[in-house]
A and B are shown apart, each in its own frame.
Chain A
Amino acid sequence: MRLVRIIDWILARRVGVTRACAAVLGVLVVLDAIPGVVHKEHAHTAVERLPGFWAVFGFVGCVVLILASKAFGHAGIMKREDYYDE
């Protein structure tokens, strides 16, 4: 099946694809910081005008969500699968 071959092709070039993605991310951050490209009059608050604000927000938000949720879960929320069967 062709779709499988496309996925295999991407997976076989993991390092190159990762580098390409990183490059795209870099370009996006730079573009976001150029006032002529992204007009920030649509921004709702002052902090959003800082270059790369939403990139930092996304990354930090993701890390905080994972760590905080897992800590919450391991504090007694996550139980064995047969917990309710006892």
Chain B
Amino acid sequence: MSEFWLHPSLLLLVGAALLPLVPRPAKKAWLLLIPILVFARTAGLSTGNHGAVRFLEWTLVFGRVDGLSQVFGFIMALMCGVGTLYGLHVRDDAEHVAAWTYVAGSLGAIYAGDYLTLFLFWELMALASVFLVWFRRRDGSNAAGLRYFLVHTAGGLSLLSGIVLLGRETGGDLTFGRLDVAHPSLAAVLILIGFLLNAAVPPLHAWLPDAYGEATPNGSVFLCAFTTKTAVYALCRGFAGMEILVPLGVAMALYGVVYAVLENDCRRLLAYHIISQVGYMVAGVGIGTQMAINGACAHAFAHILYKGLLFMGCGAVLHMTGRSKFTELGGLYRRMPWTFLFTLIGGLSISAFPLFSGFVSKSMIVAAGFEEHRLGAGYLLMLASVGTFLHTGLKVPYFIWFGEKRCSEETWERAAEPPWNMMAAMIMASVLCVFIGCRPGWLYGMLPHPAEYEPYTAYHVSETLLALLFTAVGFFLLIRKLAPEATISVDLDWFYRKGGLLVLRCIRGPLQAIDDWVGRWYRTGGLGSVRGSARGVAWFDGRVVDALVDGVGGAVRGVGGWLRGLQRGSIQETLLLALGLATVVVMVGFLLLRGH
């Protein structure tokens, strides 16, 4: 046991635990105070390995502070403050507790120095975040939350199996560092799958738009920042330079853009653009040069702010009008002009317009790709940029605040600027987006490697302006094609939402037929045949069932032996038990919430 080291997550967890006890008049002050303390603590951390704890035969390191973890920790703590300010009006303590626990999980995973600590906080994140979906308290969100949780449990299991195998490979050394990416072992692949699922890399991505579109307005602001970017951090740490990540990242960047064209719900559209933007970061991790890793970190930093801002803008519309579909909105600029302006700033930032934050971060990754002579990747990422401006910079603002007024009278009457705290949070995020765009040195100074990149060359500015402005020309020429349609798009979640039902339907017919046939046979056959069949059953029991039972018993023994071989010490049992308990807690929570 080393000296006591105050973990920022501990501050958040204690703050969250005490929140319900704080008297109502002091509640808002508490909600502002804790994130400020957490931010101050995070920003003031000194580099080194802190908070080492002996646990059975392992040393758990809770506080590895270095360049990489610090840039992610800084932005996560900052976003925690902005997000909490945005949700200050929410009177339900449980929602704040869930949000803070979720952030604590993210910060814990970022400062984790070993895989076991990482896993612990990784699961805390999944566990806490699902409540942000359920607190919307409608049928759609209950089901989406359950799907979200089950998918993340599967990802967590893959990560855990990878960690167990890794411990066996290395003889117990579970330091969270770079794995062998040139010749990945089974352990590395399983860990990678766990990370890729949280980063929403297709085909492991469908949970993201499914859940983020259903969460509470405040919940989505938190969700859009923490899960995927913590996964990007983990990828930077463990898999920098892994070749397969480049094509996966590029595919992601375009996949999100294509689905965003089809999407009618503004928050689901933004969710698809998370997949697209995280694609840039994943590609950057795959390229793996110092500049590319810097680019991935810078882009994650900028992304958290502008994507938070976009979800805040669309969340404000949902909060005020109760609507988030383009087919039920339109023409709202007269009612919510400032919300429009802030969302537009988010849109210009994500589109990488000069003077906005995306311009100084996204281009680092694209430039690193071109420098490594990955021309295909470079051009395809530029194409994804065009698509990003098309949707987030043009489609979202246009179809909510301009264009044809498609909203009902009631929606129109309800629409107004959101409460002061939501406005203040949007102003904060907007100012930061513009500040980073105008003074990139501040962000570059925090990056893990020395940054010698100058975004504001005449060529880069000219290239970006031409590509984006002519995208706008295309948008206005084809605007009829883009008119919103009241549809949903089938994604890979079809397999667990519809595929299972179809299988059920397919086998239901034959099963029913067999049942009918047995019933008829029983009625016509009478007692004699029952006696006969009893003899048959006895024979079946003696031969077949016994053999089956023996066989299953043998198999269980075999699997048990194999598991024993896998285990070193009791940590796996403890972790599995913890996971099981966590699952029970979540299921109980789900059932209780469903009652509302």
The binding surface of chain B is classed by DSSP as helix
The binding surface of chain A is classed by DSSP as helix
User: Do B390 and A42 have beta carbons less than 8 Å apart?
Assistant: no
A10 to chain B, nearest CB (A): 11
Give residues of chain A (41-86) contacting chain B, Cβ–Cβ below 8 Å: 41-45, 48, 52, 54-59, 61-63, 65-70, 72-73, 76-81, 83-84
Write out, one digit per residue, whether chain B residues 244-275 have a CB within 8 A of any chain A CB (1) or not (0): 00000000000001110110000000000000
- With a cutoff of 8 Å between Cβ atoms, the chain B residues found around residue A43 in the complex are 459
A79 to B458, CA, bound (A): 46
User: Do B258 and A66 have beta carbons less than 8 Å apart?
Assistant: no
A49 to B263, CA, bound (A): 36
A-B contact pairs, 6 of them (CB 8 A): A32-B462, A37-B458, A44-B375, A48-B463, A55-B467, A81-B488
A40 to chain B, nearest CB (A): 6
User: Closest A-chain residue to B486, C-beta based?
Assistant: A81
B412 at the interface (CB under 8 A from A): no
Total residues of chain B contacting the partner, CB 8 A: 48
User: Do B261 and A55 have beta carbons less than 8 Å apart?
Assistant: no
User: Do A54 and B262 have beta carbons less than 8 Å apart?
Assistant: no
Write out, one digit per residue, whether chain B residues 476-516 have a CB within 8 A of any chain A CB (1) or not (0): 01100110011111100000011000000000000000000
User: Closest B-chain residue to A2, C-beta based?
Assistant: B337
B390 to chain A, nearest CB (A): 6
Chain A residues in the interface with B (C-beta under 8 A): 1, 3-4, 7, 24-25, 28-29, 31-32, 37-45, 48, 52, 54-59, 61-63, 65-70, 72-73, 76-81, 83-84
Q: Are A65 and B390 also in contact (CB < 8 A) when A4-B333, A57-B382, A77-B262 are?
A: yes
- With a cutoff of 8 Å between Cβ atoms, the chain B residues found around residue A81 in the complex are 486-488
B17 at the interface (CB under 8 A from A): no
User: Do A42 and B478 have beta carbons less than 8 Å apart?
Assistant: no
Contact with B474, one of A52, A63, A79 (Cβ below 8 angstroms): A63
User: Do B258 and A58 have beta carbons less than 8 Å apart?
Assistant: no
Q: Are A65 and B469 also in contact (CB < 8 A) when A39-B458, A42-B460 are?
A: no
User: Closest A-chain residue to B467, C-beta based?
Assistant: A58
Contact with B261, one of A25, A61, A65 (Cβ below 8 angstroms): A65
User: Do B387 and A65 have beta carbons less than 8 Å apart?
Assistant: yes
User: Do B471 and A61 have beta carbons less than 8 Å apart?
Assistant: yes
A41 to chain B, nearest CB (A): 8
Contact with A73, one of B338, B477, B489 (Cβ below 8 angstroms): B489
B466 at the interface (CB under 8 A from A): yes
User: Do A83 and B469 have beta carbons less than 8 Å apart?
Assistant: no
B377 to chain A, nearest CB (A): 11
Q: Are A79 and B488 also in contact (CB < 8 A) when A62-B471, A62-B474, A70-B262 are?
A: yes
User: Do A70 and B458 have beta carbons less than 8 Å apart?
Assistant: no
User: Do A78 and B487 have beta carbons less than 8 Å apart?
Assistant: yes
User: Closest A-chain residue to B459, C-beta based?
Assistant: A42
Chain B residues in the interface with A (C-beta under 8 A): 257-259, 261-262, 333-334, 337-338, 341, 370-371, 375, 378, 382-383, 386-387, 390, 457-460, 462-471, 473-475, 477-478, 481-482, 485-490, 497-498
A73 to chain B, nearest CB (A): 4
- With a cutoff of 8 Å between Cβ atoms, the chain A residues found around residue B485 in the complex are 78
User: Closest B-chain residue to A61, C-beta based?
Assistant: B386
User: Do B457 and A62 have beta carbons less than 8 Å apart?
Assistant: no
User: Do B463 and A54 have beta carbons less than 8 Å apart?
Assistant: yes
User: Do B337 and A80 have beta carbons less than 8 Å apart?
Assistant: no
User: Do B262 and A28 have beta carbons less than 8 Å apart?
Assistant: no
User: Do B481 and A58 have beta carbons less than 8 Å apart?
Assistant: no
A65 to B470, CA, bound (A): 13
Q: Are A40 and B471 also in contact (CB < 8 A) when A63-B478, A73-B261, A84-B498 are?
A: no
Contact with A69, one of B258, B383, B474 (Cβ below 8 angstroms): B258
A76 to B257, CA, bound (A): 18
- With a cutoff of 8 Å between Cβ atoms, the chain B residues found around residue A78 in the complex are 262, 485, 487-490
- With a cutoff of 8 Å between Cβ atoms, the chain A residues found around residue B390 in the complex are 62, 65-66
- With a cutoff of 8 Å between Cβ atoms, the chain A residues found around residue B477 in the complex are 63
User: Do A54 and B467 have beta carbons less than 8 Å apart?
Assistant: yes
A81 to B460, CA, bound (A): 42
Contact with B490, one of A39, A56, A59, A79 (Cβ below 8 angstroms): A79
Contact with B473, one of A25, A39, A52 (Cβ below 8 angstroms): A25
B329 to chain A, nearest CB (A): 15
User: Closest A-chain residue to B465, C-beta based?
Assistant: A28
A43 to B462, CA, bound (A): 11
Contact with A38, one of B261, B386, B458 (Cβ below 8 angstroms): B458
Q: Are A69 and B498 also in contact (CB < 8 A) when A25-B470, A40-B459, A44-B378 are?
A: no
User: Do B466 and A32 have beta carbons less than 8 Å apart?
Assistant: yes
B331 to chain A, nearest CB (A): 11
User: Do A52 and B261 have beta carbons less than 8 Å apart?
Assistant: no
- With a cutoff of 8 Å between Cβ atoms, the chain A residues found around residue B459 in the complex are 38-43
User: Do B258 and A72 have beta carbons less than 8 Å apart?
Assistant: yes
User: Do B258 and A29 have beta carbons less than 8 Å apart?
Assistant: no
A42 to B458, CA, bound (A): 9
User: Do B473 and A80 have beta carbons less than 8 Å apart?
Assistant: no
A66 to B394, CA, bound (A): 13
User: Do A31 and B462 have beta carbons less than 8 Å apart?
Assistant: yes
